[in-house]
Structure 1
Amino acid sequence: MLTDGLLLADSPAPVIDAGWFVLLLTRVMHVASAGVLLGGLVYLKKLVAPLATGEGDPNEVLFGGRRSTWAGLVMLTTTLLILSGFYNLYYITSAHEKLPSAYHMLFGIKFLLALFVFFVAAGTGGRSPMAIKMQQDLQKWLNLGIAAALLVFVLGATMRTFPKEPRPIEDIPAAQPMADGDNGQES
């Protein structure tokens, strides 16, 4: 909906306070981490995997001694995605009165697909017997991981468009002022 030339997302004028900055930071962290993970999978598929047609240790062929760099990046982005994703879900569900049931269904699908993407990303640089098997059929796993990651992006964008009814301020629990002489400790 366009109003006065501005595209409205959640509200016509956000309250810019500490909570707004935390929410902005977690959203940027979430999208940037997802972008890094998807970009890494695309890089592996287009530039690294075509070189993996040799004998020997698949990790050496794929990463030339830099496997731990990719593994660390996968671990970092996965951690940031999980933390920021749950924080954003907590914020959305606590700040809004009603969310369509389809929103929760899409979140569940998005979460399961994201777990699959984490599995594929970790498997591409892992050393376990299962990871080595995945690396032997790397193109297939990268195709599946990239497709799942793209679906996660589409689901996230779709969920962002759902109408959200803000919870009335009086329904949001607030800190209660202390009575005179009350030091906040239980007796």
Structure 2
Amino acid sequence: MLWIDVLSRIVHVGTAITLVGGSIFTLLVLLPSASQLDDSPHQQLGAEITRRWKKFVHIGVTLFLVSGFYNFYRAAGQHKGDGTYHMLIGIKMLLALVVFFLAAALVGRSEKLAGFRKQRKKWLTVLVILAAIIVGISGFAKVRGVPAAEQQVVAPI
């Protein structure tokens, strides 16, 4: 199973690099640059970028879900009774669902979610901040390691 564990980790981290990096680039470089264009070229550029980026978002969310659940399944046994780990990963998963929703709303076509696209900079900023929090939680949970059994004892009330 080692090769599957390694592959899953590479897929998860590689997907994070691609989607989070692309979102940061869009927020800090592309949107400010595109705002300098006249309306017609701006709209054309936006439509073309969304058409291409949508594929990355949909495939990326799928890869995140598959590799994330597999990674959690593999790690959960080592963290049995480790409430801090499960709390952190639970928060990470909930935040990830919000990020997935925002990413899909920003590349989607639903009229009900058009408000997100009209305020693209605002919601992309929220997405990037949440993604940074997720990366921070992930990094801490990974380097924190597995606490010894005696450290997991709950203090009496």
Which category describes the TM-score, using the shorter chain as reference length? 0.7 to 0.9
Q: Name the CA distance, whole Å, in 1 between partners of 2:51 and 2:103.
A: 13
Task: Choose 1 or 2 for highest CA Rg.
Answer: 1
The sequence identity of aligned pairs, in percent, is 30
TM-score w.r.t. length of structure 2: 0.81
Stretches of structure 1 lacking an aligned partner (at least 5 in a row): 1-18, 167-187
Given that 1:67 and 1:125 are in contact with CA atoms closer than 8 Å, whether structure 2 keeps it comes out as yes
Per-residue CA deviation, residues 21-56 of structure 1 (Å, 9 max, x unaligned), is 110110010011011110111121123322258657
Within 5 Å, give how 1:43-58 maps onto structure 2.
Answer: 43-50=25-32, 51-52=34-35
| Residue identity in the other structure for 2:10 | V
Secondary structure, aligned partner of 2:144: coil
| 1:35 counterpart = 2:23 | no
The answer to which structure has the higher helix fraction is: 2
| 1:126 counterpart = 2:113 | no
* 2:5 alignment counterpart: 23
Describe the shift of the 1:71–1:89 C-alpha distance in structure 2 as closer, same or farther (beyond 3 A): same
Given that 2:54 and 2:108 are in contact with CA atoms closer than 8 Å, whether structure 1 keeps it comes out as yes
Q: Between Structure 1 and Structure 2, how many residues are aligned?
A: 146
Q: Cα offset for 1:163?
A: 3.4
Q: Cα offset for 1:83?
A: 0.4
Within 5 Å, give how 1:52-131 maps onto structure 2.
Answer: 52=35, 60-63=44-47, 65-94=48-77, 96=78, 98-131=80-113
| Residue identity in the other structure for 1:102 | T
Q: Name the CA distance, whole Å, in 1 between partners of 2:121 and 2:86.
A: 32
Per-residue CA deviation, residues 100-142 of structure 1 (Å, 9 max, x unaligned), is 2011111111011111111121122211124421121111111
RMSD of aligned Cα (Å): 2.4
Given that 2:79 and 2:85 are in contact with CA atoms closer than 8 Å, whether structure 1 keeps it comes out as no
Describe the shift of the 1:46–1:163 C-alpha distance in structure 2 as closer, same or farther (beyond 3 A): closer
Stretches of structure 2 lacking an aligned partner (at least 5 in a row): 149-157
